[in-house]
Copies of this chain bind each other. A is one copy, B any other.
């Protein structure tokens, strides 16, 4: 870092309001910290006193807003009992310089009950919208009806998908790469989104798939032992396998195992590591000087599976097989970096398909958390738990009384039950009818929730049944580096 920049930052700190959006005004980090702490107390008090829902909601909204401001001002997440250090403002592009939504691999937040503004995100990230033309083209090329996630804009953004299809039309195939950071035993429904869609892509295009389980990442980021992270990997693999992937075309791997089993994978990791500077990962991921060197180097490990030469057993040494990565949009920073490096190390850039986030039961302001049992429907929930969670916790866009609801109608755009139905109800006409009925007031909140419960219960039950069928032997087979049943 250069002196000029440093001085500028010192000045910036002194008149920090310059670079802030609305809301934070002239507040110092300490002012904001104190306001946040007191707002947190307010919310707790309201909840304890079982205050009116509207009051609690308003207080929570303000709390979330303050948290976003705090992150913008300090570059740090707000932590209770942890006053701000005198940090510098974030140096680079990304959330702090833009509107209100925060999206990176570790934090997603928005103050909008409809969720993140994805159109803005496309502009900010420089990706392309999946428009009707692309959806139509995918149907044409594959000869299959587009998956509901495509029809409904749940996969909403892409990079180079037209190029993948151009090549595919000329009989040049590609492979799929997706993954997960295994930080707990319990997967929730949101975790399944990329896997459900990836399975559809695999079936539709009949191509190989590699699935990375970043147990090393979780070890580096969380207060977990290597053994725990590896155990989560093996458990999560069962849920992933239960999604129905083709064992003859799918390789699932733990970083902790595969790094030590493939010199070619490590060679690609080192190649990426040579071509990315600390300045770059600082700009892309917000890493700081007090981050451990493992975090700083990790992005190369998530990048490496984008290159077919990382899997010589599958691609027989070919370096030029195109990779397509279906993932949630928060993972894009890794692959922006990867795409930047790829041509410099002689590899094709991976293409991407980005999904929106699956909302928490409490509303679309945040991503779901595996550590909060009530924030989501888990894959281990019983039918009764599903029913209770939806009825108790799913944020409603309905009116307070039946009379009002009948008169004014509900708001499906902020209603979490309706959002969940857009993810899981296959029938477009039924979904549209539900939307209209809810908006008109013909469908009550309780009835909408009932529809969701009836949709989720069999889905989860049959997932649980499939998972039971997954033996240790099957896991081992999926996770053994081996040739796949495909010739490039």
Contact = CB atoms under 8 A, between A and B. Distances in A.
Interface of A: 1-4, 6-7, 9-10, 13, 85-88, 216, 219-220, 226, 256-257, 259-267, 270-271, 273-279, 281-282, 287-294, 296-297, 299-300
Instruction: Pick the most buried of A216, A275, A292: most chain B CB atoms within 10 A of its CB.
Output: A292
B86 A270 contact: no
A88 B281 CA distance: 21
A292 B263 CA distance: 21
Nearest to A225: B271
A3 B85 CA distance: 9
Contact of A294 (B265, B273, B282, B290): B273
A191 B293 CA distance: 30
Contacts of A289: 1, 277-279, 282
A264 B271 contact: no
A259 B260 contact: yes
Contacts of A1: 1, 88, 288-289
Contacts of A260: 259-267
Given A278-B293, A294-B297, 6 more contacts: A1-B88, A257-B263, A260-B262, A260-B266, A276-B293, A277-B291
Given A3-B87, A220-B274, A256-B266, A293 B300 contact: yes
A7 B14 CA distance: 12
Given A3-B13, A219-B274, A281 B263 contact: no
Nearest to A13: B3
Contacts of A299: 293
Nearest to A85: B2
A29 to B, nearest CB: 10
A271 B273 CA distance: 18
A296 B289 CA distance: 11
B296 A293 contact: yes
Contacts of A296: 278, 293, 296-297
Contacts of A263: 256-257, 259-261
A163 B371 CA distance: 46
B270 A291 contact: no
Contacts of A4: 86
Instruction: Pick the most buried of A4, A6, A88, A279: most chain B CB atoms within 10 A of its CB.
Output: A6
Given A3-B86, A220-B270, A276 B259 contact: no
Nearest to A7: B10
Contacts of A87: 2-3
Contacts of A297: 273, 293-294, 296-297
Contacts of A273: 220, 292-294, 297
B292 A275 contact: yes
A7 B264 CA distance: 45
A91 to B, nearest CB: 10
A416 B393 CA distance: 81
B291 A300 contact: no
Nearest to A217: B270
A299 B299 CA distance: 17
A257 B9 CA distance: 44
Contacts of A287: 278
B266 A290 contact: no
B276 A292 contact: yes
B265 A3 contact: no
B219 A270 contact: yes
Contacts of A6: 6, 9-10, 88
Contacts of A219: 270, 274
Contacts of A270: 216, 219-220, 226, 256, 294
A131 to B, nearest CB: 36
**8 cross-chain pairs, A with B, having the tightest CB-CB distances, nearest first:** A273-B294, A260-B263, A297-B297, A3-B86, A260-B266, A259-B266, A279-B289, A293-B297
Contacts of A266: 216, 256, 259-260
Nearest to A88: B3
A319 B241 CA distance: 35
A263 B274 CA distance: 22
Contacts of A288: 1, 278
A102 B281 CA distance: 30
A219 to B, nearest CB: 6
A78 B297 CA distance: 28
